[in-house]
Structure 1
Amino acid sequence: MAEVVWEEPFCGEGNNCFRLGTDAEGHAFIAVSGQEDRYLTDSREALQQMILDIKAGKADHLL
């Protein structure tokens, strides 16, 4: 597995914290903070849109 560089955790009010990461090839990753070995990966654009939707309150139930 390529080395993933994780950003600082994002924590919503009363929800789990999650982290975004990228590798040297530009692949995007998302994981629950503290469980970075269990991640999802997709295009950076897809993950960015999901995060924007979560922050906008459209997908609170996912966390």
Structure 2
Amino acid sequence: MKVLVTGATGFIGRRVVSHLADAGFEVRTASRRPERLGRASGAVLLPGFDAPADAFLAMMEGVT
């Protein structure tokens, strides 16, 4: 299952990404501060909140 986590580098978001990746989810992340994500296993970093609207819609493709 594909999951998109916005705010992935925040206090809670980082833990959510880590938990979902460890549980086997395909994790996509969006964040204003991608350098803070670290190396969450299996997480795919996508352009953050300053991306154009069409890019954000593309991020959500296949997300359930």
TM-score normalised by structure 2 residue count: 0.29
Choose between structure 1 and 2: higher helix proportion: 2
Choose between structure 1 and 2: higher strand proportion: 1
Larger-gyration structure (1/2): 1
Structure number with higher relative contact order (C-alpha < 8 Å, ≥ 6 residues apart): 2
TM-score normalised by structure 1 residue count: 0.29
